[in-house]
Amino acid sequence: MVTIEDTQRKHIRDLHGVLDSVSCEKKYLAWTEAPPFGMFKMFVTNGIVKRSPQVVALDNGKVVGWCDITVLPRLTTKHCGVLGMGVLQAYRHKGIGTKLVHAALEKAKTYGLYRIELEVFEDNLPAIELYKKFGFQVEGRKIGAVIIDDKYINPLMMALLLQV
């Protein structure tokens, strides 16, 4: 049974592996591989210390997915966060993404965030439907903003205003 928990330091190594696995698919993220482990560890640890919304999906203690909301650092945008997520291929289409987004959004409300934004590739229809289910709306399209394997990809910009 898959459970959702706050991200903890003990999850960082497995989480890095999951990010790398999803990135290497070259279909869902603007990464083609995970960033170097040290940089990734600092990013996740910083989020843990700041208690920013970060959750993982665990299958018998093994990380199989994540959802994080990175708070924007400027005084004028500290009410905003950027959502990122991914689920290992074998665990998709089982409701795990829904549970992850729900948990992260609840934490975002507690954190005091008002606006959650994200980018999603326009051909990632399951993810777009997931986000729309939570009330995210398309705000725009970034034509040719990502290139992977010589193919230009158009990310959609989506956002949700939370009722805090």
Note the pLDDT tens digit of each residue in 32-43: 999 999 999 999
CA separation, residue 27 to residues 10, 22, 89, 116, 162 (Å):
28, 8, 11, 22, 29
CA separation, residue 92 to residues 52, 95, 122 (Å):
25, 7, 18
Domain count, the chain: 1
The mean pLDDT of 124-132, rounded to a whole number, is: 97
Domain residues for the domain of 135 are 2-161
Share of residues in the chain with pLDDT > 90 (%): 96
- CATH number of the domain where residue 29 is located: 3.40.630.30
**Rounded CA separation 95/117 (Å):** 21
Which residues have a Cβ under 8 Å from the Cβ of 142 and sit 6 or more positions away? 119, 154, 155, 156, 157
**pLDDT in the model for residue 164:** 56
pLDDT 10s digits, 106-126: 999 999 999 999 999 999 999
DSSP-assigned letter for residue 19:
H
